[in-house]
Every structure is written in structure tokens, then in C-alpha cells.
A = this chain, B = another copy of it.
Amino acid sequence: MQQNLKVYNSLSSSKERFEPLSPPYVGMYVCGPTVYSDVHLGNLRSFLSFDIIYRYLTHIGYKVRYVRNITDVGHLENDADEGEDKIEKKAKLENLEPMEVVHKYTQGFHDVAKTFNLKEPSIEPSASGHMIEQIDLIKRILKAGMAYETNGSVYFDVMKYHEHTHYGILSGRVLDDLISGSRELEGQDEKRGPLDFALWKKAAPAHIMRWPSPWSDGFPGWHLECSTMSTKYLGKQFDIHGGGMDLKFPHHECEIAQCVVGYGASPAKYWMHANMLTVNGQKMSKSLGNSFLPQQLFNGNHELLDRAYSPMTLRFFMLQTHYRSTLNLSNEALTAASKGYKKLANGLRVIGQLTYPSDQQGVIDEQVNQQIKEFCDNCYHALNDDFNTAKAIAHLFNILKKVNSMHNGNFDIAQLTPETFERMKSTFRQFVQEVLGLTEEKLNNQDQLLEIVIASYREAKVEKNYEKVDSIRNQLKNQGIVLKDMKTGVDWAYEE
């Protein structure tokens, strides 16, 4: 199957056959969060897209080293290298040491990732943990004559680079357009050209996050870390570099320029970008008041939400749209996703109960056998087509219809060959659980279910049905729960 995988490469703006540099190994680098605030739903969609890519590549047999970084220094408030470091600013606001901010939001990100059933990457390196490597890359770029120092800061010389190498190769941006479109920004006088970007920034005296360097006590430019860490852990050339669509320019464009000059190679063979999330048709943004945190969705605490939606509902919702299409969040779509997810979850339960009849010889229904095999093949075809989860879900629902008709007794399992039956079971389970990462969400309503049981218990007592009274007591005892007949009524407790 894996020979047929095609991926959309932003470098060529087309779908290409996936041929890793050293199969069965695949190196994949994904830009992780800047840990200065809670991860929002748009970020989450991007991470989910690469979670699916990681899962599917692993499923079809590749050995993937998946590196997703933590940006804990150097990400300034705007892309023109001005404004404060995002983390340093938040540290001031929250009256914390910057690394406390980093730990708080890294932790928050990890919690959301776990709730959302994102797979752990193989390595999760941080910018602050790779100062020596970043300083080394700056030295290389300076030595190559493609950067210059001004007042203790170092900038990449984009115009000079463009004389030899195409700046804009990934994003398709045209240099002249970029220059004419660039605004004069205060404090930009350190730069020779308006598109030049910082490799090292001298720290202001009050700046806490600072490291010694040959140029000044300061901190690295934001684009630098990804070039350094992808090279350190995946080599100068690796297979996939991913991130959100908003990172294509300037972040990824700058990464390529840095790597070409410093390491002598364009880093990734396939550049992949996940599309954005909109809300009721509008771009998600804090200023429009339609920005969501995952937690707000899970507890329903947001003025645009009618109710809460579970993590798996959100996951299902996002997977219903291909990762390169925009995805629009609305109550209607989420409610539909909730139904859809529960259908699949019920399917998981039902399929677990189906067994092939060992004592029975049925008349094989060739047509249905063929159909089911096609549904299974189609799941792979969908993922092989640039990871199209939306189509895969449709095929899973086709399988599910058959499963339900078997469960209802409307179709006799013995009409399938044992091979078809097993393939149906394993494909459904593997795609739902392993590839799409959708798990059964238990309802966590122990106390409420217990109340229903206790109501039956009370009734049995009133009816003096002591057999039933004892039966309920014993069944609950097996679950570690004892019933207590109090003066005030029936109560329960954990068995001590």
C-alpha cells in the first residue's frame, strides 16, 4: 500500500508520490507551540493534522522519527523583529520568571495534547536548550557572507542571498512585491534591507532571557531554532517539514535560506501545511472575540457555544475536513460531529461483540464480500490520497452499516468468508483507533448510574424482594461498593 501514498508538497504546489530519502525511515519536523499562552483551537488543528500523518506513516510500516519543538525564546510580537519577546512580555504581565511561563504553558499544551489523544513526538527539543547550536549556525552564515552584524545584533542579508538563490521558493512570494509592500518600521535602521531578518538580537538591559555570544548578550532570532534543531536530530536533509499555513512565510522561507547558507542544503523534501480554522465563517482572532481555547469547547463556556463538546467530538469534527481545506466551526457542525463520533464509538462496541459462527456453514454472498473488501481498500485509498481523513470516515460509515445489519440480525455473518469478516473487523478498528486516534469516551457518571441502581434496591426493599436486594448488594460489592441502610435512607460507600 505504501507505494501509492501521495502527499501535497508546498514546494511544488502539487501532489507527489511519497518517496522518503532512506526508507523505511522517515524524518518529520513539525513547528510546535510558542509557550506564552494557552494553545488555541487553530493550533490544535495543525498539530492534529500532523498527528494523523505520523499515525498513518507508522501504520503502513514506516519508522518515523517525529520532532516537534517548543519555542521558549526568540518569538517576537511581530515578524519584523520588533516588539518584545512573547514569553518575556507574558512573564512581566504574570509577574513570573520567564521559565515559569514556559513551564506553565508547556504543561498546558501537554495536557491538551493528551486529552485530544495526540501521539507524543519522538523528540521535543526547545529553543533555549540549543543555544550553542544556534550560535554555531550564525557563525556559519556570517562566514558565508550572508549575514552582517549591527550594534550587537546579526541579520540575514536577504537581497544578497537572492542574488544566488531564490528567496520565495516555498511561498511563491516575489521579492520586489515584498519590498514595495514592506512598511518602514521604527528601529529598523539596523537592517540593510527591509526583508532582512534577525539571527541574533542584542538584549536590552532589562531583558531577562539572555545568553552570551560573540556579538552581544542576547537571544536568537525565531527562525533559527527550527533550522538548528531539525538538522541536529534529522540531518541536513530529511523528509517532511510541517506546520500551520501561517508559518509558510516568512518562517519556513527563512528556515530554508538559513539551511542553504549554513548547512549547504535545502532541508526538507516535502513541505506540508495545514489550513486554518474559521468560526461561523469568520477568521478566528482574539480581537473578533471568536477565538476558542480547547477547554472552552470541552466545558461549553463560550458565548458562541450552545453546549459543551467532548474532546473526541472535536477530533472527529476536525477529521471530517481534509487538512488542506479551511474548516469552519459552528454549533451545527459540532452537534453533527457529536452524533457522528458516537456512531463510530457505538460501532467499536458492536464490532467487539461480533464473532464468526464456528459451527455454521453459510452460503457466501459474493457481492457483499466484494463490497466490504472495497470499503476496506477505500480507507487506504483515502489516506494514500494526501491523508484524506474526510473520505476515510465516509468509507468507515459504509463498513459500519454492514456491521450494524449483522448486529441487528439482518445479515448473517456466515455469508461472509472468515477472511472478509476478520478484515472488516481489523480495518474498522485500526482506522478508527490507530489511524484516526478516536477512542471510546466513557461517560464518567459513576455516581448517577449508582443512583439508578440504588433506586431499584429501594424498590426491592419496599417489595420485600430479598432475593433481589441481596443480588444487587452482591453485584455492587463485586464492584467495590457497599450499600448502607442508614436512618436517613440508603447510602453507598467504597468498600474499605
A residues apposed to B, CB below 8 Å: 65, 96-97, 99-100, 102-103, 107, 110, 120-126, 128-132, 136, 211-212, 233, 339, 342-343, 345-346, 349-350, 407-409, 442-446, 448-453, 455-456, 459, 468, 472, 475-476, 478-481, 486-488, 493-496
Contact = CB atoms under 8 A, between A and B. Distances in A.
Nearest to A232: B99
A472 B494 contact: no
Given A128-B129, A212-B132, A442-B444, A233 B480 contact: no
Contact of A487 (B128, B131, B408): B408
A453 B211 CA distance: 64
Given A443-B479, A479-B449, A480-B443, A496 B129 contact: no
A68 B487 CA distance: 51
Contact of A120 (B103, B121, B123): B103
A126 B123 contact: no
Contact of A446 (B339, B449, B480): B449
B110 A122 contact: no
Give the dominant DSSP class at A's interface: helix
A494 B346 contact: yes
Given A102-B123, A107-B120, A342-B496, 17 more contacts: A99-B123, A103-B120, A103-B121, A103-B122, A126-B129, A346-B493, A407-B486, A408-B486, A409-B486, A409-B488, A446-B446, A449-B449, A449-B450, A452-B453, A452-B472, A453-B453, A455-B475
Contacts of A475: 451-452, 455
A40 B482 CA distance: 34
Contacts of A480: 443, 445
A100, A130, A487: residue with the most chain B Cβ atoms closer than 10 Å: A100
Contacts of A453: 449, 452-453, 456
A462 to B, nearest CB: 12
Of all A-B residue pairs in the complex, the 8 with the closest CB atoms, nearest first, are A129-B129, A449-B449, A456-B456, A342-B496, A346-B493, A342-B494, A99-B123, A339-B496
Nearest to A229: B99
A448 B476 CA distance: 9
Contact of A99 (B100, B125, B449): B125
Nearest to A212: B132
Nearest to A131: B132
Given A446-B449, A496-B346, A103 B129 contact: no
A184 B444 CA distance: 61
